[in-house]
Structure 1
């Protein structure tokens, strides 16, 4: 029986360990849209933007609460170490029974003969009070409610702006990984081609058809390509790590991008992008909302000239005694209460509110100027991004053609060399030209992709 239990526990632990290893080795495959979706849910800035919306909701509730009844309760217990005293003329003290004009009612106190000193409190006092206050009219309250809702709208626009920035960074990082991936595959193909060329050159050298110098040239080219391959491989790994950081994904997670550059860049999409006139930009909404808040601040300072009305009431139970053990006796408690209405009328504050109103009007003018400047810059940004993408596409087409021609030249040079009508130096130079053409092509492709993202941002369609 014990052996069966031990066997069962062992199998359970083995299964758990196997599942942990399987999870650790899990590979996540992502497309561009999936990467963006993951980033919008896990990026730190996106999370904080969402939390800011929750904070703004709390601010709305806080402002609303000031218009609800404010109820407070107070419990006090006091020991009068030196009770307050009432000083009266000696004859008044005798009339009150506080003394016979002999210096006061406190036998331990030496006082002049013409006055009587009477303690004004007992040794121990306690009180329990409940007060309530209700705002009836306050112009700032209603302005504050509207301002809190406007602030919530601003945080929503801030969240949208943050998401746009995240989408922009994810797209650029994603494209960088794909570019490095393509470069790595091409450099690997070039490496295989040069290895084959080296093998053929060594065979020709052994047969006596070429010199040792020809073999050395190819080896130098092979070493350069190997070094370039290592650099591209490191660049791919770094760009992948950067993408994961911007997505909010753990660094040790293995990710595979199951999209190619050709899957993302369609000619029809780019043409429609170049002919797009643009849409609403969230930056304008942010500035409009800030302008609304400035106007509400102006209104709030203006309503400060209006009276405030509030109602209040207090109920209190008090007790007192000379000895502590009797202070809470039921027959010693006495009640008092009062209620009223308070009207607060501002008369003169040294022109403080007037100066605040002047400041608000200047701030509103500043925001209006900023809005005009922003709209002009958005139009300029759209124009520049459009021109940049057009030029990038033209450059890309030229570099793509150059790449094809360089590959054709290399193949023809290699055939001539194999047939004995060309030199090894021509093959090496053709390979160097091909490598340069491929580098220029990928640089142009990267510039086109970045220009595409910049135009999408300028048009407001990220």
Structure 2
């Protein structure tokens, strides 16, 4: 087994969850597909979007539950510390000749009371219930589209971060080759100076170039490390793990794939599905406000057992408990609400028009986005071809200048200038390469095929 163990996607997940700190330096070798798949399962936004779909499923169950029987139990216990007094006239058959007052105080109540009860309520008709049930299912569909949109955003971020790492690694390889080339030239020039065939200024010029390329290499190394950290953040991978990309830019950007991408007319966009679903939700809200003009009917049944006693221990005697039961039907008929429902209906109709306008605008924007992304990629590819040719020409010029200098028919200054031109051509090439890669991802997103 090699020193760098290759982990499958499942293995990477298990390592992230269960490995101890002693494995912190283990290297995870990843492809673009593995990076995207890992991100879809571990990126915080993707996980939250998945959880939201679970919540939407639960909301459907909550709406269904409102149409099922609602059963509530009650228990109460009362100690009448001071039993309320009522007054009767002290006259007639209830007159008390021993009481000089014209009223008689009478207590209606006992020291202890308790009761047990069960109430069952069943909705018979409520127009809002059926509309709400459909709205909950539509909301569940919207959460699925929101999840897809979030996943597209995650894929876009991971791809761009992945390509940034690849570009920086290629820049690093080229910078290291440049460093070796300039270091060799520096040693040759220094040897010529010691033998008297070159001037001190020639050595100094090359030393400046060598210092510059070493500084540039430090910057590229830092950029490579930062880009890897950003990729791990986008993937949801713990930062303590080391990653290594096992693919090259050529593997991921084959000419036939680019050509097929440019000829693709595109597919559905989830943003349009989101708008259409929002339109359906507003339409259901409009229907809900409309059906609220209809009456609602509920049936209810209550069963009670009530007991009382003058002493606490007699409260629980069976002879002191009595049964009560009630069966009823309630009808709620809306008569006048100050035109509140009418105003809500007006708002719903305006919202429907607004969403329809947004759908028209989004459809136009999608077409413009596809045209712009396709045009940008084509232009960036042409620019990349030009910069690649410029880099090849600059390399050829540098090699010729160096050979002439070694043969004694060229100057050291020509080599230094050729090297500067070569480095500038390399910077322009990798800048054009990065732009082309980002434009490729943007076109995939615009076409709705970002997977």
Does TM-score exceed 0.5, indicating one fold?
Answer: yes
Does 2:286 align with 1:307? no
Report what 2:15 is aligned to.
none
- With the length of structure 1 as denominator, give the TM-score of the two structures: 0.91
1:99-248 equivalences under 5 Å are: 100=96, 113-248=101-236
Report what 2:319 is aligned to.
331
Residue 374 (structure 1) shift: 1.1
Quick check: 1:204–1:210 contact (8 Å CA) kept in 2? yes
CA distance in 1, matches of 2:296, 2:21: 69
Quick check: 1:102–1:113 contact (8 Å CA) kept in 2? no
CA distance in 1, matches of 2:199, 2:223: 37
Structure exhibiting the larger radius of gyration computed from Cα positions = 1
Quick check: 2:179–2:213 contact (8 Å CA) kept in 1? yes
The C-alpha deviation readout for 1:264-317, integer Å capped at 9, x for no partner, is 111111111111111100000011111100000000010001111111011111
Cα RMSD over matched residues? 1.4
Residue 82 (structure 1) shift: 2.6
CA distance in 2, matches of 1:229, 1:424: 23
CA distance in 1, matches of 2:85, 2:180: 107
Name stretches of at least 5 consecutive residues in structure 2 with no aligned partner.
1-18
SS at match of 1:301: helix
Q: Determine which of 263, 282, 302 is the counterpart of 1:275.
A: 263
Residue 116 (structure 1) shift: 2.4
Report what 2:380 is aligned to.
392
Does 2:259 align with 1:262? no
Quick check: 2:126–2:296 contact (8 Å CA) kept in 1? yes
CA distance in 1, matches of 2:28, 2:300: 64
Report what 2:28 is aligned to.
28
Report what 1:408 is aligned to.
396
Name stretches of at least 5 consecutive residues in structure 1 with no aligned partner.
1-18, 104-111
Quick check: 1:291–1:364 contact (8 Å CA) kept in 2? yes
CA distance in 1, matches of 2:102, 2:226: 97
The C-alpha deviation readout for 1:225-263, integer Å capped at 9, x for no partner, is 000000000000000000001100010101100011111
Report what 2:37 is aligned to.
37
Q: Determine which of 400, 417, 429 is the counterpart of 1:429.
A: 417
Residue 114 (structure 1) shift: 2.7
CA distance in 1, matches of 2:444, 2:257: 11
Report what 1:89 is aligned to.
89
Residue 21 (structure 1) shift: 7.7
Residue 321 (structure 1) shift: 1.2
- With the length of structure 2 as denominator, give the TM-score of the two structures: 0.93
Report what 1:3 is aligned to.
none
CA 358–47 in structure 1, closer or farther in 2 if over 3 Å, else same: same
CA 144–167 in structure 1, closer or farther in 2 if over 3 Å, else same: same
Residue 345 (structure 1) shift: 1.2
Quick check: 2:24–2:240 contact (8 Å CA) kept in 1? no
